Amino acid sequence: MKISLKPAVLAVFVFAAMVFGPVLSKVEGAAKPKKDAKMTVKDSNAPAEKTEAPAEVKPEAAPAEATEAAPEAPKVPETPKAPEAPKAPAEPVVAAPEPKPEKPETPEPAAAPESSDVAVTVNGDAITEGQLDARITPRLERLGAQLSPAMIEQYKSRMRAQMLEGMILERLLDEQVAKAGVTVSDSDVNDRINEILDMRNMTMDVFKSMLQAQGQDFEQVRLEIKKTIGYEKLIDSQLPSKDVNDSDIRAAYELNKEQYDIPEQVQASHILVKPDSENPDVNQAKAQAKTKAEQLLKQLKDGADFATLAKENSDCPSGAKGGDLGLFGKGQMVQSFENAAFALKPGELSDIVETQFGYHIIKVAQHKPAETKSMEDVRPELEKMVLDRKRGEFFRIYRDKLKAGASIVYPPGKDPEAMAMPMMRPSDTERPATKNPAAPQPAPTPPPKTE
């Protein structure tokens, strides 16, 4: 299995993803900043790209409905016999109407469980339906507009099983953290949050705003981070060895080598002049914008300072930084802009470049060729990667041991295996006999295999 290079923002170990997977994935998603100013040409001015729907749990296709029995073949009418001579007037024979099959009664849906009902007990400690629902409901609400009611129900059923499994594991780990006397200080939590902010190049205010926009409470996120750090400390205290040898590091590097490839990049600045959108004459607006861009280009060729003109004239947000877009690779800007930028040498100015956003003047500061980071360049990252993998492997064993030694009791009818049993179809002996033996019969359904 390939070792992923994507750094875990909060959960360092596999167990953290299992326990807090849905919560932490949202935090990680919230922590991902919008693209930098270097993306401005493509992102800030271009129409917004479609955002994929969150996928805490992939809903499976709706289960196929039970197959109905094949309808009987219509009866073939008998050939009428020639009438005999009448003997005595006979009373007309009226055929008794065949009884219509009664429609099976539709069972009433089971009543929704009360919030105080027990979903499972873990070593005598109950997890209630209310506690479980409190974790499921916010996620369903966010997906309500994206899925059909039928898919929502299926999603809810799948999510309930996974969420309950995570809550059971959480209770078991909490017990072990308490027994081991593991403590997590506010400083530990703050350091982890600052690590997230540094990694994503964002401020605390931006981080909180993103969480709020996603309906997340910052203090709750802090609590989840605190729990995760506690679990990390617990596993580290149990881990047999933290040694990472050169063989492990080289294997990790070779498996992920392509992810250390750095594509060709340029660092460029630009000045954007947009046509006046309020001018009803589109052609006139474009002509005026192009004329202004040509005048600015002349000033630059005459020795004017690029950053100063960008701050005073650019219609792109990057103008506040003197037009600097930072480093970017191919495929990150619109094609005509990209072609012009990558064709320039450091210090060169472009001619007027037209895109759907307006007219650009581009200046390249540096042009970096493609390269691949060496193993020594990324050795600290590789060491952490290998150690995290060892922690994950150890945790799977530790988790199974905890569950095997725990008392996990489900109320009648709530055992996950029983709830997941497929609906049984009637056997052939239970199907009503077919009146016409010549009618094709549905193939018998084989009984389910038993282990």
> Is pLDDT above 70 for 247?
yes
pLDDT of residue 222: 96
What pLDDT shows up at residue 164? 94
Task: Measure the CA–CA gap between 218 and 212, rounded to whole angstroms.
Answer: 8
Q: Show the domains of the chain with their CATH numbers.
A: 14-44+114-256+376-404 (1.10.4030.10), 264-369 (3.10.50.40)
Q: Tell me: the pLDDT tens digits for 268-283?
A: 999 999 999 999 999 9
pLDDT tens digits, one per residue of 162-187: 999 999 999 999 999 999 999 999 99
What residue has token string 């919230």?
30
Distance spanning both ends of the chain, measured CA to CA: 29
- The per-residue pLDDT for 157 is 83
Which residue, chain included where needed, has tokens 């197959």? 67
- 294-298's contacts with Cβ under 8 Å and 24+ in sequence apart are 294/352, 296/271, 296/361, 297/349, 297/351, 297/352, 297/361
pLDDT for position 4: 34
Sequence-distant (≥ 6) Cβ neighbours of residue 312 within 8 angstroms: none
pLDDT of residue 114: 73
pLDDT mean over 134-141: 86
User: Tens digits of per-residue pLDDT, 17-60?
Assistant: 444 443 344 444 444 433 333 434 444 443 333 333 333 333 33
